Amino acid sequence: MSLQDISAASSSSAPPEDSTAPATPAAVEAAKVPLGRQMMAVPGLLPGLTIITLLVVWELVTSIFPIPSFILPAPTRIGGAIDAVPADRWFDHVWATLRVAMIGYVISICIALPVAIALTRSKVVSACLYPLLVVIQSTPVVAIAPIIIVILGSGDAPRVTITFLITFFPLVVSMTTGMMATPRELIELSQSLKAPPWREFTQIRIPYAIPYIFSGLKISITLAVIGAVVAEFVASSQGLGFFIQFSTSNFKLPQAWLGLGFLVLMSLTLFNLVVLVQRIFFPWSMPKDER
């Protein structure tokens, strides 16, 4: 056997080289991340999948079981009800509810902040006002809504007032709690430097209370929509609350469910707008995984 034959035989018997490229560190790390965490990294993916799953189950249940449409209509029938009402009427109802909710919400913020400062500043004011605020919050708004309408008339004023009463208490409590939670060392430091009271609040207490304030804002923005709808149930000729009540009284359940869907969409949109404001202007006040 020649030397060429021996080298050819040895090369043919050698194991084949691995053509697979080594995995990069990024690919290895991505493979270690659980699927659930990867899905959570995509904004809105999990809530969207949950809603789609519920709609599919809802559609299947109404298709399999003989459920009357006036009790529980299928999602496809609810979606088809949008053509039964002209687009301009939908806009009028949505705008009427949104307008009342936002006016009441803004008024609540403008009044709640000075009241919270007064409650934080003076123990006497706190002892006088706080029980009154609890009494107002404990009173069912639905029970006093007719009285408010008799006093203020049938315009936007009673609806805004009802919205204000529902959203005011959470804002006052969250703002007061946040400003009272300011470390005592910071307050004593400002007093030792002879800082005026307005600087104590604007530069120490209110910035420290920002996370608490936004917690109250997030709660109150959804309550504002609820307050506007409650007011429309009592006395109104326009708005999504009035539309839902009118549709149910005429057994037009798909339209009523669609109006409810618009209300949910409005609440979610307003809530996310508040979150967006906090994320843009006060990112330091949010948890690190939400920034």
Query: For position 175, which CATH number holds?
Result: 1.10.3720.10
| Residue 239, in any domain of the structure | yes
Name the residue with higher pLDDT: 30 or 123. 123
Residue 34 is assigned to a structural domain of this protein: no
- CA dist 288 and 291 (Å) reads 6
Confidence bin at 34 (pLDDT 50/70/90):
confident
Does residue 88 register a pLDDT over 70? yes
Are 118 and 181 in contact by the 8 Å Cβ rule? The answer is: no
Between helices 87-121 and 240-249, what is the axis angle to 10°? 130
Residue 33 lies in a domain: no
- Overall number of domains in the chain: 1
Round to whole Å and give the CA distance between 147 and 250: 27
Extract the tokens encoding 132: 């009154």
pLDDT tens sequence across 168-216? 999 999 999 999 999 999 888 888 888 888 898 999 999 999 999 999 9
The pair of structure tokens assigned to 214 is 């936004």
Identify whether 5 is part of a domain. no
> Does residue 203 or residue 40 have the better pLDDT?
203
Check whether 8 has a pLDDT greater than 60: no
213 contacts 175 by C-beta, under 8 angstroms:
yes
Question: Is 31 inside a domain boundary?
Answer: no
For residue 26 the two structure tokens come to: 């990024």
Report the C-alpha gap between 278 and 211 in whole angstroms: 9
Of 149, 199, 210, nearest in space to 177 by CA = 210
- State the chain's mean pLDDT as an integer: 86
- 230 falls within a domain: yes
Q: Judge whether 185 lies within some domain.
A: yes
Contact 115, 283 (CB under 8 A): no
Give the domain extent around 155: 86-290
Q: What torsion, rounded to 10 degrees, do the Cα atoms 65, 66, 69, 71 define?
A: -80
Residue 115: closest CA among 100, 123, 125, 107: 125
> Tens digits of per-residue pLDDT, 240-277?
999 999 999 888 889 999 999 999 999 999 999 999 99
pLDDT at 269: 95
Listed range (115-119, 162-166, 236-240) with the worst mean pLDDT: 236-240
Model pLDDT, residue 21: 52
